[in-house]
Structure 1
Amino acid sequence: MSTGLAGRSVVVTGASSGIGRAAALAFAAEGARVLVADLDAGGAAEVVTEITDKGGSAVAVTGDLSEQAVVDEVVATAVERFGGVDVLVNNAGIMDRMSALADVTDAEWERVIRVNLTAPFLLTRAVLPHMLAAGRGAIVSTASEAGLRGSAAGAAYTASKHGVVGLTKSLAVMYRAKGIRANAIAPGGTRTGIVVQPDPSAHGPAALGPHFVNVGRLAEPEEQAAAIVFLASDAASNVNGVVLPVDDGWSAV
């Protein structure tokens, strides 16, 4: 079955590196027009150049996606340049310090929740009117193994990714009659640029240590991107509300 992505407008957040970069390139390879959204202006520009050098169509918007003004710019640019938003990939995210709940600072909690959960909420809310007007749309979010269990990250990150799972399922139910699908991937360990800097003497890392067994091999970003593109494509036209582990079987252990 064709992916049906040629000519479609796709917004990918966190697209300057890692899973987001791989997804942006994969969508472009399918003929989609890609808006690369990221805080890293230089990295975003490099991805746009890589796409356009291969004959594709791409544009970058940079800024903090947890800020409404940046969200508004992302959507306005996609509408102006590409005529709308057919696919939204909520991929941008940050890690916590593996902190146990009693050790989470206000700053850590608020920043992780803001980037990992509030930003996808703001972006999804902003694109929904355009998808509803078009009578179709696909939203794919990057959740995590931490959205499926309590032993894969600290309290803030775990709560944020459980929130992404809930947001995805709510969207799927609320808008399925409107032609809009919402799904998520739940990556296991993946080779990306995200660095975790826990305090090894803190309770959280000490408690989590024994749980990081049977996690499987590290995935390449392209393997996560392939799942994202599938869920956004016409090949997954009846797939809605799914949280797909891409984790070499870690979630099955």
Structure 2
Amino acid sequence: MRDYFKYKDKVCVVTGAASGMGKSTTEMLVDLGAEVYALDWNQVEVKGIFKYIHVDLSSKESIDEAFNLLPDTIDSFFGIAGVSGITTDFNKTVIIDFIANKYISEAYLTNRMKEDSGIVFITSTGGLGWEKENNQKEYMPLIKAKTWEEAITKLDELDLNRLPGPLGYSFAKLAMNYYVAHLQTTFASKHIRVNAILPGSTDTGLTGEFSAAAGGADKLMQYTGFADRLATPREMGEPAVFLNSHMASYISGALLIVDYGSGILSQAGLQQDSMGGATFDKIKLHFLKK
């Protein structure tokens, strides 16, 4: 059978490879013959990976150590790791979910990605509205930061660590969705594609935490469209593998919403938007006034 995806012997790096969407992505890449480097805080138990590398994405030093163990040339990068904010404070959530991806992209991927290769991030439908001016003014200081240290300083200056950790998740996903657009200016001229998957409610190891953040498991079902069930991790890993494959060679800058139609129903006014279209600054003020 013809290899349409063309992952065989390609160097693929996956963060968050130990569980959920990252594990499903890793398993598929191994099946497709890729040379997979699996990065995670936890041990990665996927047979056939080339190497497991421990990494703490809240630490610049740990990221540097991990990338010192990776090849000088990378064919595909999958930025899948993330936290919900339930067990981390606002700032640490933003560091793991956004600043780490920004640092990896600017410090390493700009020099290591091959031409005609791909980068895909798992962001979230929780980051929809990223293009709104009132949202952009919140996260733009971090986008403009030139170094890890400057990004951390800018985050501290925002003085948002009083907010709940899950709001850090939303903040980070807004920033990540914008960042996919921002990275086109860096990578597109090099013929390196950058895309993102925006999952709807998915049954992963973080489901309990997301249920708590949403106010109950039934709340998550509001974001499942007509599927009437949570997605599986593999149903998010599959489109990620597709977007970084040869099959998607002319797709870049896509924010692929994978929510079985939930978002478009709200956009069309056919389903109530439970967030009411509130921008991050309004949500922030609501919590800070408490």
Normalised by the length of structure 2, the TM-score is: 0.70
Q: 1:61 and 1:94 mapped to 2: Cα distance?
A: 18
Q: Which ranges of 4 or more aligned residues in structure 1 deviate by more than 6 Å? A: none
8 A contact 2:116–2:249 mirrored in 1:
no
Matching residue within 59, 71, 77 for 1:67? 59
Identity across matched positions, percent: 27
Partner of 2:204: 192
Q: Per the alignment, in what secondary structure is the counterpart of residue 109 of structure 2?
A: helix
Paired position in structure 1 for 2:264: 252
- Structure 2 CA distance for partners of 1:238 and 1:2, relative to 1, 3 Å: same
Could you report, residue by residue, the CA deviation over 1:208-244 in whole angstroms, capped at 9, with x for unpaired residues? x879635332111111111000000011111000010
1:86 aligns with 2:95: no
1:128 and 2:110 aligned:
yes
Confirm whether residue 77 of structure 1 aligns to residue 64 of structure 2: no
When the two structures are superposed, what TM-score results if normalisation uses the length of structure 1? Answer: 0.80
Q: Shift of the alpha carbon at 1:167? A: 1.2
Aligned pair in 2 of structure 1 residues 214, 241: CA closer, same or farther (>3 Å)? closer
Q: CA deviation at 1:69?
A: 2.3
Aligned counterparts of 2:5 and 2:214: Cα–Cα separation in 1: 42
Aligned residues: 225
**Tell me, which stretches of 5 or more residues in structure 2 are unaligned?**
131-164, 266-290
Cross-structure match for 1:103: none
Are 2:27 and 1:25 equivalent residues in the alignment? yes
- Assess if the C-alpha contact under 8 Å between 1:5 and 1:27 holds in 2: yes
Give the match for residue 176 of structure 1. 188
Does 2:42 align with 1:40? yes
- In the alignment, the residues of structure 1 paired with residue 79 and residue 210 of structure 2 have an alpha-carbon distance, to the nearest angstrom, of 25
Contact 1:66 1:122 in 2 (8 A): no
> 2: CA distance between counterparts of 1:180 and 1:142?
17
**Contact 2:97/2:173 (CA < 8 Å) preserved in 1?**
yes
Find the aligned partners of 2:210 and 2:21 in 1 and give their Cα distance: 22
Tell me, in whole angstroms, the C-alpha distance in 2 between the residues paired with 1:161 and 1:221: 18
Q: CA deviation at 1:195?
A: 4.5
CA contact (8 A) 2:76 2:119 kept: yes
User: Quick check: 2:58–2:92 contact (8 Å CA) kept in 1?
Assistant: no
Deviations 1:152-181 (A, max 9, x none): x94221111011111111112332111111
Q: Which segment is superposed worse, 170-179 or 25-34? A: 170-179
| Residue number in structure 1 paired with 2:173 | 161
Deviation at 1:137, TM superposition (A): 2.6
CA contact (8 A) 2:20 2:205 kept: yes
Q: Partners in 2 of 1:94 and 1:236 — Cα distance?
A: 28
Equivalent position of 2:118 in the other structure: 138
* CA distance in 2: counterparts of 1:192 and 1:2, whole angstroms: 29
Q: Which amino acid aligns with 1:140?
A: V
Cα distance in 2 for partners of 1:39, 1:210 equals 29
Matching residue of 2:4 = 2
What is the distance in 1 between the residues matched to 2:220 and 2:12?
37
> In structure 2, do the counterparts of structure 1 residues 199 and 9 end up closer, same or farther at CA, with 3 Å as the change threshold?
closer
SS in 2 for 1:93: coil
**1:168-205 Cα shifts (integer Å, max 9, x gaps):** 111123321111110000011111101444897xxx85
Q: How does 1:200-219 map to 2 (within 5 A)?
A: 213=222, 215-216=224-225, 217-219=229-231
Structure 1 partner of 2:288: none
The CA RMSD measured in Å over matched residues stands at: 2.7
Question: Are the structure 2 counterparts of residues 76 and 252 from structure 1 closer, same or farther at C-alpha, using a change threshold of 3 Å?
Answer: same
